[in-house]
Amino acid sequence: MVHSPSPGNREDGQCDLYEMAPLRKKDVVLAAGESGVNAIEFVNAVEEKQVAPLASTPVTLRFLLSLYKENGAFPVSHRDLYLEGCTRLCQEQSKSRSTPHTRPRVKNSLRFLIAGRIAVCSIFSNRAFIYTGNSSTETRDTDILIDDLIGAPIRDGSQELHPSRDDVLEVLDSSLFSSGGADRVVWAHKTYAEFLAAFHLGREKTPLKNKMAFLGANEHAGKIAPQLHDAAAWMAER
């Protein structure tokens, strides 16, 4: 556990908040052994598939262990592992952060689409924090505002969905995110945002020239902003 300071203290009626720290390699080895799989082979497979960030979170580590135990290997691609892992993280409510919601009320498909929109805003505007407070005077240049995320409808097939502020807050309370301090959350791991941003643009059938513009390049020059190389790699992966 790692401590996340609250804006007040216990005397003011505030609670200290705690975040679950990412699992360490030795934690993964221990979990693998307890699950009855060869721990060394499992860790090697995790590193080969480049899914260590998924193994660092309990809900997706359980998924990886179950898949590996059933097949003796990871039978799906790097991309498919991230898709399934991020889907599960999006559906899992954080147990370490306080939330006004006692149970999920946003359907899973919309939760995933909202997460994709947040990822696009995060990665391509280079803003690491999502501000969840109500006072605009407390915002910073590194913040995404909730209003930035609910201004336009999200298409789900033939439907146009209009997520509310509460819908977005519920997604921000999922295991995809962790505390970024008072009234702020951040992505639990940057690779989740990079994958979801690329997946979202692919799902929306964004034209190549627009994708290149997101990446700070054009379709002829091909130069990509260095901080977006990983997002570009996800766009290229099939």
Per-residue pLDDT at 206 exceeds 70? no
Within-domain flag for 129: yes
Q: What is the pLDDT of residues 133-159, one digit of tens each?
A: 887 778 888 999 998 898 788 887 778
Q: Encode pLDDT of 81-97 as tens digits.
A: 999 999 999 998 876 55
- What integer pLDDT is reported at residue 174 of this predicted model? 94
Digit-coded pLDDT (tens) for 91-137: 988 765 545 545 668 888 889 999 999 999 998 888 999 999 887 77
Range of the domain at 141: 116-236
Residue 17 has pLDDT above 70, yes or no: no
Domain membership of residue 184 (yes or no) is: yes
Shortest CA distance to 138 belongs to which of 178, 183, 180? 183
Say if 108 falls within a structural domain: no
Burial 40-58 (b: 16+ CB within 10 A, else e): eebbebbeebebbbbbbbb
Q: What average pLDDT does range 178-207 have in this prediction?
A: 87
Q: Is residue 220 part of a domain?
A: yes
Q: Whole-prediction pTM value?
A: 0.78
Examine residue 34 and state whether it is found in any structural domain, yes or no: no
In a domain, 83, yes or no: no
Position 34 scores a pLDDT of: 93
Classify residue 200: in a domain, yes or no: yes
Number of folded domains that form the chain: 1
Does some domain include residue 188? yes
Q: Give the model's confidence band at 200: pLDDT under 50 very low, under 70 low, under 90 confident, else very high.
A: confident
